[in-house]
Copies of this chain bind each other. A is one copy, B any other.
Amino acid sequence: MTSMRAAVLRDVHDVTIEERPIPTPGPDEVLVRVGSVGICGSDVHYYESGRIGPYVVDKPLVLGHEAGGEVVEVGERVLGLRAGQRVSLEPGVPCRSCQQCRAGRYNLCPGVQFFGTPPFDGALCEYVSMPADFVYPVPDALSDDAAGLLEPLSVAVWACRLGSVSAGSRVLVTGAGPIGLIAAQTAFAFGAADVVVTDVNPQRLAAAEQLGARTLDVSTTAVEDSGFVPDVLLECSGNARATSAAVRTVAPRGRVILIGMGSDEVSLSLPYLQNHELTVQGVFRYANTWPTAIALAASGAVQLDQLVSRHFGLDAVEEALTVHRQDPSALKVVVRPGE
């Protein structure tokens, strides 16, 4: 068997299944049979618009970057991985030699090759080959779906690290979509004493509540009127107006972590920032997070499987990419390329 099926984005609103050669792993690489791929908002965005900011899909592209699976072959120099191991994939492989890489901020490497980001193919296919050091064995307690969802969990781990969430922190999470729900759980896992999640969708708020957070429906109560004074704001809505409002509730010396994407500009109150000496920090993906993400998911501190609303086969990728139109309270949608 030398060929596999891949879901290829050929144009806006056009994903076609193609036969492609199964990649051959290099000496430091492993070949992974993809078991599960979570669909991310950015996948949907490429499907609908063909671009995200400067990244333009100008030739056929395989999407998908939240992937778990099983090692089927290892390169000759690979130690510590073997065929049969269940694994999670860290989807961005950096250049390893620029200033950012050498300083440990490989997420900021200008030469990073990131799954499903033009011009690099992603994981919505049957097999991918990856450098072994970006492939992490997972314990049996983690499902394939959870192995894939370690990617958004990594975003939350990174955000909590940059936001110095620690024991006793009070955390405000704006936006109860998948990343917000993961961020809320991750904040608790970092020791937060109180987590409030905002949204306008009652089902999503109910999901947040089930995970142990307090919730606030900002369609009826403004966040400033809630009386909650967070040490850390994990902004997961990407909504500029929601961001401006939420920032104005943060405690002196609090941290604002900007996770949600989608706005071009965010307008902040300069006197508020200054009088409270707030720190506002943008986050971009993650670095050095997988071991922690695995630990949090394996211990049950963060529940990933229950965020999965629906599963699709590879043939139904377009359906997976459009679920949110029919069902705005759907959380995570997962594609299983082998089914």
Report which A residues bind B (CB closer than 8 A).
28, 53, 96-108, 131, 133, 157, 160-162, 166-168, 186, 189-191, 193-194, 240, 252-253, 258, 261, 263-284, 287-288, 291-292, 295-296, 299, 301
Contacts and interface: CB of A to CB of B under 8 A. Distances in A.
Given A191-B191, A279-B281, A265 B269 contact: yes
Contacts of A97: 28, 96, 131, 133
Contacts of A291: 168
A258 B283 contact: no
Contact of A167 (B190, B263, B276): B190
Contacts of A131: 97
A288 B103 contact: yes
A273 B282 contact: yes
A258 B284 contact: no
A19 B31 CA distance: 45
A79 to B, nearest CB: 11
B102 A133 contact: yes
A102 B269 contact: no
- For the complex formed by this chain, how many copies does it contain in all? 4
B168 A160 contact: no
Given A103-B104, A288-B103, A291-B168, A276 B282 contact: yes
A282 B274 contact: yes
Given A108-B252, A277-B282, 18 more contacts: A100-B253, A103-B287, A108-B276, A166-B166, A168-B292, A189-B191, A193-B292, A193-B299, A261-B274, A264-B270, A264-B271, A265-B268, A265-B269, A267-B268, A270-B282, A272-B282, A277-B281, A280-B281
B283 A277 contact: yes
A278 to B, nearest CB: 6
A281 B283 contact: no
Contacts of A253: 100, 103, 105, 108
A302 to B, nearest CB: 9
Best-surrounded residue of A28, A270, A279 (most CB of chain B within 10 A)? A270
Contacts of A105: 104, 252-253, 277
A265 to B, nearest CB: 5
A272 to B, nearest CB: 8
A10 B97 CA distance: 34
A274 B283 contact: yes
Could you say which of A53, A98, A271 has the most chain B C-beta atoms within 10 Å of its C-beta?
Answer: A271
B264 A266 contact: no
A271 B51 CA distance: 14
Nearest to A253: B105
Nearest to A266: B270
Contacts of A287: 102-103
Contacts of A98: 133
Contact of A292 (B106, B167, B263, B275): B167
